[in-house]
């Protein structure tokens, strides 16, 4: 698996999977999304993927 696909897979897992995404849109610098259930998000894992702790 390429690094970008691996990272995308990890991010998708951290936000609760594809069934937890209501919609996705982008701006110049970010990919934005609305989620079905915020409670399904693994905040710690998501922050690690985004360079935060």
Q: Report pLDDT for 51.
A: 64
Distance CA 40, CA 9 (A): 16
Rg (CA), the chain: 11
Entry pTM: 0.64
Q: Report pLDDT for 52.
A: 60
Q: Is-contact 45 7, C-beta < 8 A?
A: no
CB atoms within 10 A of CB 30: 8
Q: Report pLDDT for 25.
A: 87
Q: Report pLDDT for 19.
A: 95
Strand partners, 38: none
Give the model's confidence band at 2: pLDDT under 50 very low, under 70 low, under 90 confident, else very high.
Answer: confident
Task: Show Cβ contacts of residue 48 under 8 Å, excluding neighbours closer than 6 positions.
Answer: none
Q: Given the DSSP bridges, would you call strands 31-35 and 21-26 parallel, antiparallel or unpaired?
A: antiparallel
Q: Which tens digits make up the pLDDT trace of 4-30?
A: 888 889 889 999 999 999 998 888 888
């Amino acid at each position: 698996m390429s690094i970008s696909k691996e990272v995308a897979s990890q991010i998708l897992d951290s936000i609760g999977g594809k069934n937890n995404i209501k919609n996705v849109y982008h701006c110049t610098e970010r990919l934005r999304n609305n989620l079905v259930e915020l409670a399904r998000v693994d905040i710690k894992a998501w922050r690690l993927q985004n360079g935060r702790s």
